[in-house]
């Protein structure tokens, strides 16, 4: 604790507690969680814990999976993936060395495109604003290229009933 790994007002994560430091005392530290709970952590536990000071990050990760409809032509998928990559490379706030935009998986209802990048922002509110701005740009790109997003679907195969038989047959009597 002599190293002062955080200050009042900073966002931290200690074990499974994440929130804003409200009070730092000799015997304990109080952290206000995102759920508005006030958690008190004894200093003896803090000394032996790994403390992640989220405020000191240079970049914040943004990761999402875009679910494209299975009937999307390969050429459109390639153009869409390249377009997202170009969009992120051209953005001044993204870390260029860590961009990941790939056709990632054949999902149960979609072709999944992984989009993972890091943005340089000072805090969570700016991070959310930047995420929204970039996600809206991706939606505009999809719309311009005619790429449709998938939604969960199931295909139901119904076996045909041979002519002369009913779907509502009575079970044979057991004598």
pLDDT by residue (tens digit) across 59-75?
999 999 999 999 999 99
Is 50 in the same domain as 73? no
Q: At residue 77, does pLDDT exceed 70?
A: yes
Residue 175: per-residue pLDDT = 56
User: Within this chain, do residues 136 and 114 fall inside the same structural domain, yes or no?
Assistant: yes
| CB neighbourhood size of 155 (10 A) | 5
Residue 108 lies inside a defined structural domain of this protein: yes
**Residues spanned by the domain of 115:** 60-145
Specify whether 83 is located in the same domain as 105. Answer: yes
Give how many domains the chain has, as a whole number. 2
In a domain, 109, yes or no: yes
Structure tokens at 113: 């495109």
- The pLDDT confidence band at residue 54, using thresholds 50, 70 and 90, is confident
């Amino acid at each position: 604790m002599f190293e002062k790994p955080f200050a009042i007002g900073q966002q931290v994560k200690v074990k499974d507690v994440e929130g804003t430091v409200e009070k730092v005392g000799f015997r304990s530290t109080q952290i206000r969680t995102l759920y508005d709970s006030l958690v008190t952590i004894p200093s003896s536990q803090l000394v032996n814990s790994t403390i992640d000071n989220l405020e000191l990050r240079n970049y914040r990760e943004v990761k999402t999976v875009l679910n494209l409809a299975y009937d999307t032509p390969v050429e459109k998928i390639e153009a869409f993936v390249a377009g997202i990559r170009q969009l992120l490379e051209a953005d001044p706030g993204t870390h260029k060395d860590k961009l990941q935009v790939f056709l990632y998986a054949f999902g149960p209802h979609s072709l999944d495109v992984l989009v993972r990048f890091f943005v340089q922002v000072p805090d969570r509110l700016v991070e959310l604003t930047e995420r929204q701005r970039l996600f809206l740009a991706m939606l505009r790109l999809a719309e311009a290229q005619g790429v449709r997003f998938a939604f969960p679907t199931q295909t139901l195969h119904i076996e045909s009933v041979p002519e002369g038989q009913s779907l509502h047959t009575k079970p044979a009597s057991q004598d």
